[in-house]
Amino acid sequence: MSKLESQCFYRQNDGVYCKGGYLVKDTVLPLEREGNYAVRTTLTGPVLIEDTMIKCPCCEEGFLISSEGREILAFMKKHLRSMVQEIMEELTQ
């Protein structure tokens, strides 16, 4: 990880957590016997509301942007956006 971003570790008490910027929940199935061993199966699935995956309220795509990272993004949006638009216009002519 860099000092511009850090991984999101958002978690709720009910087992809901962030994975790649979306909320998911683990469902633990009852123990199953396989020979002399007991096997526990865990299924991970997205948290859905009306068949739509819920984005994490804390991060963007699984990462938290630091204050320094936000400053760099603001600078790029303000000063580099016009330059990139000019380059794209030249390429499409």
In tens, the pLDDT along 33-42 reads 877 887 777 8
> If you write DSSP's letter for every residue of the chain in order, what string do you get?
--SSEEE---B-TTSEEEETTEEEEEEEPPPEEETTEEE--EEEEE-EETTEEPBPSS-BTTEEEPHHHHHHHHHIIIIIHHHHHHHHHHHH-
Taking only the tens place, the pLDDT of each residue in 26-80 is 887 877 887 788 777 788 888 888 999 999 998 888 888 888 888 888 888 888 8
Distance of CA 48 to the CA centre of its chain: 15
Number of domains in the chain: 1
Residue 54: domain span? 5-92
**Rounded distance between C-alpha atoms, residue 91 and residue 50, angstroms:** 42
